[in-house]
Amino acid sequence: MFRARCILGSAAWRLHNSCSLVIHPSSRMCAAPHSVAAVCQVTCTPDKQANFSACERLVEEAKERGASMVFLPEGFDYIGSSREETLSLSESLTGETISRYAQLARKLLVWLSLGGFHERGHDWERDRRIYNTHIIMNDKGDIVSVYRKSHLFDVELPGKGVSLKESGFTIPGPSLVSPVQTPIGKVGLGICYDLRFPESSLALRRHGADILTYPSAFTVATGAAHWEVLLRARAIETQCFVLAAAQVGRHHEKRSSHGHALAVDPWGQVLGDCGGESPGLVLVQMDLDQVGSTRRNMPVQQHHRDPGFYLSLEDA
């Protein structure tokens, strides 16, 4: 079972469902046709075939329920139990895993956000290092955007049982990438730990993003403390929708994830929450008119001072 939390206009309610939930806009909204997004939650392991089967079922269900774009989390391909296993299972963008997702996109005529693929680095034969890569794939199976995670999770929290050093085997991405036009709107790409760096989200907003997405595998400890509040903050400060697919539950004996895949609107309200127990998805009917009206009514971006103003403390 997973829990979805929905806010429709001024009325809030909770629902328990064994599968998924369609979130309808209030009567005053007028979403464009074919603008349903599916935000997924899975429990991936080192078993790549089992992971693909689980994600395939979610993508098929999302398509059956009207989604035109499906968001999968960081580590959708696998979550390894050691550095050695993580590296040995990695592939290139032309490998079997991405080829299978391309076939799935073509078969179902659905766009995919594949958020956190273990991509072998450009100098793999020499240094055995990888990128953490977010891929946007269109309904023809073509890769239309590739973003490589730029902020790596090197964190030691002894009191909370968190010890990860992503930079030990991962290359930081060289840059942000421009938001990409999709059937649900213009999507700006991040991955997991990038969520903690508002400079990135604001840059994507300035370059036209309507939607920000943060596919993630948040730890249980950091997720319980920070996950929802960070996602809502990114939505509020950019006045974008925020869609965050997530890993949930126990991946192997060394690692578990917080779950709670979320969809947040430009006002910062949580539209859907997959809960913290099991795989599932939420379906959200996107309303880009809400992005425009929120920005008109509270024109935060127009109130920004020139960049030099924010550097004035450093000069002083």
Residue type, 132: N
Q: Are 131 and 98 in contact (CB under 8 A)?
A: no
* CATH code of the region 2-315: 3.60.110.10
Q: What is the pLDDT of residue 307?
A: 86
**Catalytic residue of the set 6, 192, 240, 274:** 192
pLDDT digits (tens, 9 = 90+) for 175-208: 999 999 999 999 999 999 999 999 999 999 999 9
Rounded to whole angstroms, the Cα distance separating 70 from 64 reads: 12
Predicted TM-score (pTM) of this structure: 0.89
User: Exposed, middle or buried, 10 (CB in 10 Å: 0-12/13-18/19+)?
Assistant: exposed
Rounded to whole angstroms, the Cα distance separating 103 from 112 reads: 11
Percent of the chain clearing pLDDT 70 (strictly above): 89
Is 74 catalytic? The answer is yes
**Catalytic residue of the set 74, 186, 240, 274:** 74
Is 160 catalytic? The answer is no
| DSSP summary character for residue 14 | E
Is 165 catalytic? The answer is no
Residues of the chain with pLDDT under 70: 1-34, 163, 316
Positive or negative torsion for Cα 47, 53, 54, 58: positive
Q: What is the pLDDT of residue 316?
A: 64
pLDDT digits (tens, 9 = 90+) for 208-234: 999 999 999 999 999 999 999 999 999
